[in-house]
Structure 1
Amino acid sequence: MKKWWQKLAQSLMVLAMLGLPLQAAQASDFFDETFGNLQDELATAKENGKQGVFLFFEMEECPFCDRMKKTILVQPEVIKYFKEHFLTYQIDIEGASTLIDFDGTEGTSQSISEKKYRVRATPVMMFFDLEGNPTARYTGPTKTADEFMLLGKFVVEGIYKEMSFTKYKRSVTTDTAAQ
């Protein structure tokens, strides 16, 4: 009889050969690393063929941010979709680290979050085009991964140019219910 650890090792080898992840995704898998220079990040987004940059404004004690990071930003389809279309960064609205904004404005992540983007409650999710212009903003957590994916598609497909996310979400829900 094989020992339990030999069976475990065999199972892990099979998973690895199938290309399946050996551990669950984490929110850190969703976010890209940054050195705090959004001008550089924008240039990287252009070089990598992305459609823009996604910023997740958060703070440490925010239960809504925590829920998003533990239940939505860990979904493999969410990670894949956002990594395909955007560079994704988290911004601590209470942070003291230096941040250089898309236009070259330099300050702390706290001062830029408050003064420039008027982030007061978290999470706030903002999308920026390849010129550093904001295209969409969503305040508060999304209820589900599907709603978060819909928000991404709202930006990727350029629907933000025609209507608000609320109106878009209603139209998609109405269309789905009619089918």
Structure 2
Amino acid sequence: MRRLQQWGVGLCLAFAVTWPAQAQEFFDETFGDLQEELSVAKEADKKGIFLFFQMEECPFCDRMKKTILNQPDVIDYFREHFLTYQIDIEGSNYMVNFDGQEGTSQDLSEKIYRVRATPVMIIFDLEGQPLVRYTGPTRSKKEFKLLGQYVVDGVYKDMSFTRYKRSQK
């Protein structure tokens, strides 16, 4: 009996060591109603909503997800200040944008947000107005966090993101 208990404890420890920890997700879950998400963001006292426009076969999107958007400090910072959602620009998911317009994620990406290449990151204020738009992958985790700080600190009102990045070196 004792041997069986030891074996059971050993097996549990082996699973605990080898079972991958559940990574905290960067993106929040959404049903695609961005008007509703604005209400949620206001109630949660967020600074805005971060949208990551991507597509399945985008190597730059994939690289950002694997090297930047999975970092705990990045996740913590963006979750503290924003609701974060990914939008598939080739998708057929039904959505409602901030102005109440309805369509697929592909329709809204192309016609409303004019996204042609990915990734595109847009941060919106709590009224659904775009504050900053960044096209292409960020070069580093530091640059990505600066993009968030640029909005959180309100610097977007006074200077371009390029100037802000230079001032932070």
Regarding TM over 0.5, the answer is yes
Residue 137 of structure 2 aligns to which amino acid in structure 1? P
Q: Where do 5+ consecutive residues of structure 2 fail to align?
A: 1-5
Q: TM-score, normalised on structure 1? A: 0.84
2:154 to 147, 153, 158: 158
> What's the offset of the Cα at 1:9?
1.9
Rounded to whole Å, the distance in 1 between the matches of 2:147 and 2:12 is: 40
Local SS of the residue matching 1:30:
coil
Q: Where do 5+ consecutive residues of structure 1 fail to align?
A: 14-21, 174-179
Question: Contact 1:97–1:109 (CA<8 Å) still a contact in 2?
Answer: yes
> Does structure 1 residue 148 correspond to structure 2 residue 140?
no
- Describe the superposition over 1:98-121 as per-residue Cα deviations: whole angstroms up to 9, x where unpaired: 110001011111111111111011
Local SS of the residue matching 1:54:
strand
Rounded to whole Å, the distance in 1 between the matches of 2:76 and 2:12 is: 28
Q: Which runs of 4 or more aligned residues in structure 1 lie more than 2 Å from their structure 2 counterparts after TM superposition?
A: 5-8, 10-13
Alpha-carbon RMSD: 2.2
Residue 120 of structure 1 aligns to which amino acid in structure 2? R
Local SS of the residue matching 1:107:
strand
> What's the offset of the Cα at 1:143?
1.2
1:64: which partner in 2? 60
Question: Contact 1:25–1:75 (CA<8 Å) still a contact in 2?
Answer: no
1:132 to 115, 128, 131: 128
Q: Give the paired residue count.
A: 163
Rounded to whole Å, the distance in 1 between the matches of 2:62 and 2:22 is: 17
